[in-house]
């Protein structure tokens, strides 16, 4: 392979030693140096490219506490002339990995490109006046050096192309749009040639050329993705039913990245033609937005993507008729199994080592916190060098595990004692309630509640069940509270039950209800007040919100 020669048009490098020492000691991520480099590279085919990079020297701290620094570039930019005699400016963001490409048609774009990077360099030099020069001119001569580099770039790149000559069918304002939109119009003097560039010579039809002239560039770039995937007649029918997009939808179109377009194309290539025809019938902005969302989860640049080769099988298993449009297709893509892909094995190894160091450092800090709670002299405080000793680390982790088991045993013993104390207290309270219930039942059983009415206390669950059947209420469900609460009935001389009462130790009478849970007044009339007066005379209290007390009053007690 022929070698590629290169030489530097400009190289400026400054570092601040004082800031470097301060950054190592106290500041994580301190920038102690900056460098601007412009290289001219002669390509094997005779063309020349110019690369411009702005580097920074960054200081970091390892998990072990040791400092290190490295030079990194936030943006890598280059300019070159293509085989079609166009000039391309490419920018790669190192942090996000996003690549943008623009065609250059004016000298001001070249100057703003270089002066923007040199302005960043000069701003750092003004902020750090103590920086010393390693390469390049003094700070006062940076502007002249940059102007000379711009002139050298013009000589290497050559004359810039004229927009109106190369794109006669487009207006001047289109030169700031993405290149993928207007490249089909390159050197095309009629829309027939544009249609051939977009869809190929074999697929060319006169109706296709008419639709290309009618539609805007944004919509054409969408239909161009179906080239070779569906019959050209389907494309013509879809174009005829498509309205020209508004300016807002055009801006949404330009926001899509080349990575998203490649992902959409990969999805469409694996989709059967009947499904593609349904997608063509959808509004352009809707289908484009939906498939862009699907492409985002399939074309990630770092780690996880989807196994698109399984998509035809998934569509066949579900049935083509059930994939009704782009939304159903997106759901199928999202449900595809994920596969892991790493572009840089060395970066993955470095990341794993850093994660292991961070995890080990957290273990050491946890160990040092735990041994502070132990008696003095029980364990040795660990530093990083001692923690890297395998024998010491195993012993330390065993000590932490023993300490954890002791604490768990102590918590379990404390919880058992607490629950046992609650159980004993609960038994004592139930014994007290049982004693009170026996005494109150002996006091009330057989006593006269009112003329012709007497009190009967239930002794077993069968009695409660019989009372519930007679009055059609739920008193039979209180069998579990027998001999803890008092359940009584107000009966006539012939044994007919008129009222049921529930009396508790803490609140007194909580319920006094008749048949179908009616209030006592509705059941007995004026005799209900006599029953209440009789219970008060027997020193039975009433709850303030007792059920069945509507229309009744409690007599005032006298001391």
**Angle subtended at Cα 291 by Cα 285 and Cα 294, rounded to the nearest 5 degrees:** 145
Residue range 285-333, pLDDT digits in tens: 889 999 999 988 886 655 567 888 899 999 999 999 999 999 999 999 9
Q: Is the dihedral of CA 178, 181, 183, 186 positive or negative?
A: negative
Residue-wise DSSP of 70-107: EEEEEEEEEEEE-TTS-EEEEEEETTT--EEEEE--SH
**Site of tokens 């009222």:** 499
pLDDT score of 231: 92
CA proximity to 316, closest of 376, 377, 270, 263:
270
For residue 93, give the nearest of 236, 257, 232 by alpha carbon: 257
Residue indicated by tokens 């946890």: 366
Q: What does the alpha-carbon distance between residue 406 and residue 148 come to, in Å, rounded to a whole number?
A: 76
Q: Is the pLDDT of residue 252 over 50?
A: no
Say what percent of the chain tops pLDDT 70.
90
Lowest mean pLDDT among 242-251, 311-320, 435-444: 242-251
Number of CB atoms found within 10 A of residue 131's CB: 21
What residues does 10 pair with on adjacent strands? 38
Q: Average of pLDDT values for 389-395?
A: 89
At residue 68 the predicted structure's pLDDT band, cuts being 50, 70 and 90, is confident
Q: How confident is the model at residue 174 (pLDDT cuts 50, 70, 90)?
A: low
pLDDT the model gives residue 125? 86
Does the pLDDT at position 15 exceed 80? yes
190 closest CA partner among 163, 178, 172, 208:
208
């Amino acid at each position: 392979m022929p070698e590629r020669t290169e030489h530097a048009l400009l190289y400026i490098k400054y570092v601040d030693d004082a800031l470097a020492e301060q950054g190592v000691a106290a500041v994580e991520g301190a920038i102690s140096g900056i460098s601007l480099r412009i290289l001219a590279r002669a390509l094997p085919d005779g063309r020349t490219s110019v690369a411009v990079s702005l580097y920074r020297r960054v200081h970091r701290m390892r998990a072990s506490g040791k400092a290190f620094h490295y030079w990194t570039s936030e943006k890598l930019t280059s300019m070159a002339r293509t085989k079609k005699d166009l000039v391309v400016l490419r920018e790669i963001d190192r942090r996000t990995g996003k690549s943008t490409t623009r065609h250059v048609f004016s000298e001001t774009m070249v100057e703003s490109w270089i002066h923007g990077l040199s302005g960043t360099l000069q701003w750092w030099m003004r902020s750090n006046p103590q920086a010393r020069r390693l390469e390049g001119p003094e700070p006062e001569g940076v502007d002249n050096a940059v102007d000379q580099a711009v002139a050298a770039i013009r000589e290497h790149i050559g004359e810039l192309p004229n927009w109106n000559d190369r794109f006669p069918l487009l207006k001047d304002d289109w030169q700031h749009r993405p290149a993928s939109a207007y490249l089909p119009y390159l050197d095309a003097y009629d829309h027939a040639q544009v249609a051939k560039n977009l869809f190929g010579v074999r697929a060319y039809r006169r109706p296709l050329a008419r639709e290309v002239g009618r539609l805007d560039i944004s919509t054409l770039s969408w239909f161009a993705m179906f080239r070779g995937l569906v019959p050209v007649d389907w494309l013509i029918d879809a174009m005829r039913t498509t309205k020209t997009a508004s300016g807002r939808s055009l801006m949404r179109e330009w926001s899509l990245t080349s990575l998203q377009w490649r992902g959409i194309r990969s999805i469409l290539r694996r989709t059967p033609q009947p499904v593609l025809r349904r997608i063509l019938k959808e509004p352009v902005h809707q289908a484009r937005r939906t498939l862009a969302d699907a492409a985002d989860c399939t074309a990630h640049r770092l780690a996880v993507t989807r196994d698109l080769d399984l998509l035809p099988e998934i569509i066949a298993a579900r049935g083509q008729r059930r994939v009704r449009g782009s939304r159903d297709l997106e759901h199928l893509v999202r449900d595809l199994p994920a596969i892991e892909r790493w572009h840089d094995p060395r970066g993955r190894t470095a990341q794993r080592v850093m994660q292991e160091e961070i995890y080990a450092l957290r273990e050491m800090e946890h160990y040092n916190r735990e041994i502070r709670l132990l008696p003095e002299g029980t364990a040795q405080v660990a530093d990083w060098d001692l923690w890297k000793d395998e024998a010491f680390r195993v012993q330390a982790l065993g000590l932490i595990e023993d300490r954890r088991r002791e604490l768990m045993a102590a918590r379990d013993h404390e919880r058992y004692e607490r629950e046992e104390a609650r159980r004993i207290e609960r038994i004592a309270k139930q014994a007290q309630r049982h004693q009170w219930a026996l005494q109150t039942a002996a006091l009330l059983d057989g006593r006269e509640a009112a003329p012709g009415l007497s009190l009967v206390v239930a002794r077993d669950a069968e009695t409660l069940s019989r009372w519930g059947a007679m009055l059609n209420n739920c008193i039979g469900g209180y069998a579990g509270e027998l001999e803890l609460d008092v359940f009584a009935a107000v009966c006539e001389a012939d044994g007919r039950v008129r009222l049921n009462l529930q009396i508790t130790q803490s609140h007194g009478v909580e319920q006094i209800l008749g048949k179908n849970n009616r209030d006592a007044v509705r059941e007995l009339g004026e005799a209900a007040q006599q029953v209440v007066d009789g219970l008060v005379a027997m020193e039975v209290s009433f709850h303030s919100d007792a059920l069945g007390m509507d229309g009744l009053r409690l007599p005032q007690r006298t001391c």
